[in-house]
A and B are shown apart, each in its own frame.
Chain A
Amino acid sequence: MADKPRVKVAGQAHKGDIVQIKTLVSHVMETGLRKDENGQIIPRRIINRFTCEFNGRLVFSCDLGTGIAANPYLQFSARVEESGTFRFNWIDDDGVTITAEESISVS
């Protein structure tokens, strides 16, 4: 079973507030530089891109490299003008996308 990503967003905010968003995802972030016990290179498998959309609109994205540790933790902020849902996407080298959603009520 896949580990559910951890996401923390304030449940409520006022219109125009800048809210802090914390995310933690379970991923090996295999660099492609290590060898296994038989001397064979362990293929690279990292999350190479992260995006965050709010009500379908991109609010934050970043590219990740091989220097990022396993289980990457990302923290950023976004201004909210309306109630809605953040959608988080972690995309890895195998094309697997891990997703999570978190709603916020804006008054």
Chain B
Amino acid sequence: MIQRGPIVCALAAAMSLWLFARLPTTAAQPASTARVSVAPLETESEAAPRPWRRYPDWPKRDSTGFSTLAVLVSPAPPSAPRRITASILGDAATGQRLVADRTRGGSCLACHVMGSAGGTDLPGNVGPDLSEIGRLGRDDEWLFNYVYDARVYHPDTIMPPWGTHGIFTEGEINDIVAFLKTLKAPAIFKQSLDDPQRRPPPAERRDNLDPLVNPGMWVVDRAQELWKLVGPRGAACATCHSEPQKSFAAWAASMPKWEPRLAKVLGVEEFVTRHARMTTGHDWLMESAENTALAVYLRYLANGSPIQVDIESGDAKQAYERGANLNARKLGQLNFSCLDCHSPDRGALKWIRGQWLGEQKGQLDHYPTWRTSQQSIWDIRRRFQWCQVAVWADELPPDANEYGDLELYLTAKNAGLKLNVPGIRH
């Protein structure tokens, strides 16, 4: 099945009529769905637990008071730079310690080289090299305001507003300013790998579909067992989809898509939850092992198919536009948008500490992906959740409408790339 768009809908419609005819008579079918011409979906309840509770091994942090993809509540920037007339008398030694303090948003060194005094252990290069900031003639007022809230000089900066967002106190920023004024010579690196300008970008060369290489391939095996597992309604996936290799050879490459019955964008994962509830009776909530396994398998079946999602029809177009806005929304106490880290004209293709920030194109083709650093497989929604926790924002439940809009937008940015699932990444 290589056709897409309306043809797929027509085929899906024909298939679902056919599969209703084949459902065992013991499977309870609400009468109202008997004439529905699209895949049955449960539409009454949530597809993930409420209230959403963060995964137990993730950082516990109170991020209330800062914007998420659902609410805009972060404090506003100051309207003008703070006037500072007297010389700032901070403690440079304390400042030197603070710029390397990794409990404060990853430390200044995550983004800046700060001379040999700042530390040369894998600094990043998202922001400019500050090794000689002390001899550039910047006055104390400028330095203080730039650390406190750089938006007073550059409204579009990606630098976190350390003062306005309460990560550093004014006294601590004075100490940091005192340290910055001591920086007058280029950093000396022990080896070229320490220098972010000379550190080679990572390349992923592992064969992700080799079961001896990618532990994520076990998930494909598990999914094939689940496919045959009869649920409370007396049916299994295989009851209607007896030849998934044929019937799902391209489907996952057309997801996510706008679903009018739910008035939201559905990804593969949420589709699995809602479709299984109506057909087999399995309650495979999003982020359950079963749900992730099937989401991997359905994409695995479509491996090699180019990603092509509908962003043209009215509602889908609006969802896409909402996704574009969410992609640019400043989130969390660290005040980063998706674009700040993953757009090449901002932080992407640079180093944040020892981690390479990738572009948005090239991410959606290999999710769900085995994460060697986590020893588990992550779907794209969990990846979204993690990004938010990493910028010190509260994540949303995986079935949140906002994630649907964002996934649609990002998937459209990956259009044409061929699915290659499960991936394997650090």
Where the two chains meet, the residues of A that have a C-beta atom closer than 8 Å to any C-beta of B are: 1, 3-4, 6, 8, 22, 24, 26, 28, 36-37, 69-71, 73
Q: Which of B212, B222, B375 contacts A24 (CB 8 A)?
A: B212
CB distance from B230 to the nearest CB of A (A): 15
Q: Contacts A1-B225, A37-B56; is A6 near B212 (CB within 8 Å)?
A: yes
Q: Count contacts on B: residues with CB < 8 A to the other chain.
A: 11
Q: In the bound complex, what is the Cα–Cα distance between A26 and B221 (angstroms)?
A: 12
In this complex, what residue of B is CB-closest to A73? Answer: B212
Q: Which of B243-274 contact A (CB under 8 A)?
A: none
B398 at the A/B interface (Cβ < 8 Å)? no
When A and B form their complex, which 3 residue pairs have the shortest distance between CB atoms, in order from nearest? A3-B218, A37-B56, A70-B375
Give every chain A residue within 8 A of B221 (Cβ-Cβ).
3-4
B312 at the A/B interface (Cβ < 8 Å)? no
Q: Which of B56, B212, B215, B225 contacts A26 (CB 8 A)?
A: B215
Give every chain B residue within 8 A of A70 (Cβ-Cβ).
375
Give every chain B residue within 8 A of A28 (Cβ-Cβ).
375
Q: In the bound complex, what is the Cα–Cα distance between A73 and B206 (angstroms)?
A: 14
CB distance from A76 to the nearest CB of B (A): 14
A22 touches B222 (CB 8 A): no
A22 touches B375 (CB 8 A): no
B211 touches A24 (CB 8 A): yes
A71 touches B222 (CB 8 A): no
CB distance from B86 to the nearest CB of A (A): 48
17 contacts between A and B (CB under 8 A): A1-B225, A3-B218, A3-B222, A4-B218, A4-B221, A6-B212, A6-B217, A24-B211, A26-B218, A28-B375, A37-B56, A37-B57, A69-B375, A70-B375, A71-B215, A71-B375, A73-B212
Give every chain B residue within 8 A of A24 (Cβ-Cβ).
211-212, 215
Q: In the bound complex, what is the Cα–Cα distance between A36 and B57 (angstroms)?
A: 8
Give every chain B residue within 8 A of A3 (Cβ-Cβ).
218, 221-222
Q: Which of B340-374 contact A (CB under 8 A)?
A: none
Q: In the bound complex, what is the Cα–Cα distance between A73 and B375 (angstroms)?
A: 14
Where the two chains meet, the residues of B that have a C-beta atom closer than 8 Å to any C-beta of A are: 56-57, 211-212, 215, 217-218, 221-222, 225, 375
CB distance from A79 to the nearest CB of B (A): 22
CB distance from B214 to the nearest CB of A (A): 9
Q: In the bound complex, what is the Cα–Cα distance between A73 and B211 (angstroms)?
A: 11
Q: In the bound complex, what is the Cα–Cα distance between A3 and B225 (angstroms)?
A: 11
Q: In the bound complex, what is the Cα–Cα distance between A37 and B54 (angstroms)?
A: 12
Q: In the bound complex, what is the Cα–Cα distance between A48 and B254 (angstroms)?
A: 46
Give every chain B residue within 8 A of A6 (Cβ-Cβ).
211-212, 217
Q: In the bound complex, what is the Cα–Cα distance between A8 and B207 (angstroms)?
A: 15
Q: In the bound complex, what is the Cα–Cα distance between A28 and B375 (angstroms)?
A: 9
CB distance from B157 to the nearest CB of A (A): 37
Most B Cβ at <10 Å: residue of A4, A6, A70, A71: A6
Q: List 13 other contacts, CB 8 Å, given A6-B212, A24-B215, A26-B215.
A: A1-B222, A1-B225, A6-B211, A6-B217, A8-B212, A22-B212, A24-B212, A26-B218, A36-B56, A37-B56, A69-B375, A71-B215, A71-B375
Give every chain A residue within 8 A of B375 (Cβ-Cβ).
28, 69-71
In this complex, what residue of A is CB-closest to B225? Answer: A1
Give every chain A residue within 8 A of B217 (Cβ-Cβ).
6
CB distance from B287 to the nearest CB of A (A): 17
Give every chain B residue within 8 A of A36 (Cβ-Cβ).
56
Most A Cβ at <10 Å: residue of B215, B222, B225, B375: B215
Q: In the bound complex, what is the Cα–Cα distance between A4 and B57 (angstroms)?
A: 27
Q: In the bound complex, what is the Cα–Cα distance between A53 and B212 (angstroms)?
A: 20
